[in-house]
Amino acid sequence: MFNYLIVSPMQDRLVWLLNRFELRAEVFHIGRVRSCVYHDAAEGVGHLHLLRSGRVRIESAGTQPRVVEGPCVIFYLNPTTHSLTPIGTAADLVCASISFGIGHGNPLRDALPQVVVLALANAATLSRTLALLFDEADQDHCGRQAVLDRLSEIALIQLLRELMDQGLVEIGLLAGLSDPKLARAINAMHADPAASWTLADLAREAGMSRARFAVNFRNTVGMTPGEYLSEWRLGLAQTLLRYGKPVNLVADQVGYANASALSRAFSASRGMPPTRWLQQERRREADVQPLGDSGSR
């Protein structure tokens, strides 16, 4: 007889993020790069660069240039203008665009540094996944693009897991999820955003006093529990609006008494009511050009 281990969603630190925000990766480059590769934030997507071998100089606005050596992962969660310049003859790269509902509504938006670099020598599980990805990239099988895209999505999830497990993020959502006690309270908010959470309720979930919980949450996540809950609710509202849900239904699902209450909170935070924000998003999405196929750029 087999014994199966079932992981409760309340124990899984990423499950609600992955359920509420759609993660999509699209591999658009495979192979050797001999000159500077440039990406503009106007593309509206994040980027995952998998450096199989070689050395590159990475540059982006607001950060110091740095030289990294493969095998490693270079990750920009948010749309960021950046460049990768090979040092020496060439660098071997697999590059993917990343969409994770990133924008004002996803709590991961401010949870990571602008660029994350992780050597594969420090991430055994991620290394195995990328070995599969590189092997698939070297073949010409049917369904290759779909396999590469799905493996890139898996690699990203494993990267986020590594950042939490290794304690590589000091403040923000991932730092909060790295703390077992705070993670219980955060998961409770993620699981049931419509609940009338109080500070006492959340402290009880974390197994801490109200005062200690409030201080630890603020110092670790970078905002108060109430501010985080409000951001989580509004982020979910944005996702549901994109899916075509009416404002009154969205309000009920994310914990607002009615459409008017949601509209007031949305306008105060996002600078415009939900309907106008959605119209703006639709126009922006229509302006984004397709990224193309998986050939070299």
Per mean pLDDT, which range of 9-13, 69-73, 105-109 is the poorest? Answer: 9-13
CATH level 3 topology of 15-165: Jelly Rolls (2.60.120)
Per mean pLDDT, which range of 163-167, 197-201, 270-274 is the poorest? Answer: 163-167
| Distance spanning both ends of the chain, measured CA to CA | 52
What would the CATH number be for the domain defined by 179-283?
A: 1.10.10.60
Provide the pLDDT for residue 287: 67
> Closest Cα to residue 166, out of 100, 118, 111?
118
Give the model confidence (pLDDT) of 135-179 as tens digits.
Answer: 999 888 899 999 999 999 999 999 999 988 888 888 889 999 999
Q: What is the mean pLDDT of residues 79-85?
A: 94
Residues 6+ apart with CB under 8 A from 13: 164, 177, 183, 186, 187
Q: Would you list the domain boundaries of the chain?
A: 15-165, 179-283
User: What whole-number percentage of the chain has pLDDT above 90?
Assistant: 62
Give the model confidence (pLDDT) of 225-264 as tens digits.
Answer: 999 999 999 989 988 998 889 999 999 999 999 999 999 9
Give the model confidence (pLDDT) of 84-140 as tens digits.
Answer: 999 988 899 999 999 887 566 678 877 788 899 999 988 889 999 999 999 999 888
Within 13 Å, how many C-alpha atoms sit on residue 95's CB side?
A: 24
| pLDDT tops 80 at residue 73 | yes
Q: Are 194 and 254 a contacting pair, CB within 8 Å?
A: yes
Provide the pLDDT for residue 110: 75
